[in-house]
Amino acid sequence: MKDWQSEYERKLISAEEAANLVKSGDHICFTMGREAYAIGLAIASRKDELKDIIVFVPSPGYDFGWYDPGWDDTFSIKMYMVTATSQQILDDRRCDLEVSDILFRSESNETESDIVITEVSPPDGKGFVALERRYG
């Protein structure tokens, strides 16, 4: 088996490099749980250069700015659950509330995700990561 640490280092990119993979018209999806904060901020910082981005956030936890009025030309928000972070955008009817049992594709099948963003644990001794953080 190839040295996993070298492969891991080769694939590791910064939040800004990850955000630069997003193109106008993309559908990006954050997975359930904590959103990847640094990447979310880096994508939001590209507000003035991107258009028509669909952002699916199952349960919004962080405010990256795209829930605010004036961000609608760049980011269309879809979510499963309303939180304190996203209550106002729902009250203002500036987002879509979706009901689905599929995390990476909308129930309406209008589009599949172009980019899926999730946090994983640091690699263990064999190079495996988990979708949940394990302590101890």
pLDDT in tens, 77-127: 999 889 999 999 999 999 998 876 555 554 545 558 899 999 888 888 888
Res 54 pLDDT > 50: yes
Beta carbons of 116 and 27 less than 8 angstroms apart: no
- Across the chain, what does the average pLDDT equal? 87
Beta carbons of 122 and 129 less than 8 angstroms apart: yes
Res 17 pLDDT > 80: yes
CA distance 50 to 27: 12
Look at 119 and 70; give whichever has higher pLDDT: 70
Res 38 pLDDT > 90: yes
Q: What percent of the chain has pLDDT above 90?
A: 61
Res 133 pLDDT > 70: no
